[in-house]
Amino acid sequence: MKYLLLVTVLTFGFFSSSCAQKQAAPAAVQSAFKAKFADVQKAKWEMEDEGEWEAEFKMNGKEMSANFKADGTWLETETEIKTADLPQAVKDAIAAQFSGYKMEEASLVETPDMAAAYEVELEKGETTIEALFKADGTLVKQKAESEDDDKD
C-alpha cells in the first residue's frame, strides 16, 4: 500500500512538473516572435527569468534563440557559430585576456543596442567563463558560469 501511494505521488509530481515546462509564452511574445522570425515554424519556449521568455529554434540550418519581455519587447537573438568563424579581433582578444582558456562555444549576439557582438564560452580546468565581445575585440562583459547554468 505504501509503495502504491509513493508511486502515485511520484507520478503526479512528475506529471505536474512536465506540464509546467510546457507553458505557452504570452500572446504578445508569440506575436512579436512571428513578426521578427516569420519563416520559423517551430520554436521551443521557456521562461528564463520572471517576465522574460526565450524561444529556441532553427533557422537557415542554424541553432538560434531569441529573448523577449512578457509584453513582446525583443531583447536579443543569439545564433550559434563555429569558434573558427569568430572575427580575428575577438580571437586575438581571447588569446591576450584569457590565456590558457579553450573556446567551447560561440554565438553571434544581436540586441537593440548592438548590431553584432560575440558571446564565447571559455573553459580552463573547472572554470567556465562566458564573455561578450564587440566585433573589434573589445570585452563588453564576462561572468563565471556555474553548473546550474548548463541545464540544457
What is the pLDDT tens value at each position of the chain, 152 positions in all? 444 433 343 444 444 444 445 578 999 999 999 999 999 999 999 999 888 999 999 999 999 999 999 999 999 999 999 999 999 999 999 999 999 999 999 999 999 999 899 999 999 999 999 999 999 999 999 999 876 555 44
Closest CA to 98 of 127, 74, 66: 127
pLDDT of residue 120: 98
pLDDT of residue 149: 53
Conformation bin of residue 53: beta by default, left when phi > 0, alpha when psi is -120 to 50? beta
Amino acid at 64: M
Cα–Cα distance, 64 to 95 (Å, whole number)? 26
pLDDT of residue 15: 42
Task: Please name the CATH architecture into which domain 25-149 falls.
Answer: Roll (3.10)
DSSP 3-state assignment of 63?
A: strand
Q: What is the DSSP letter of 33?
A: H
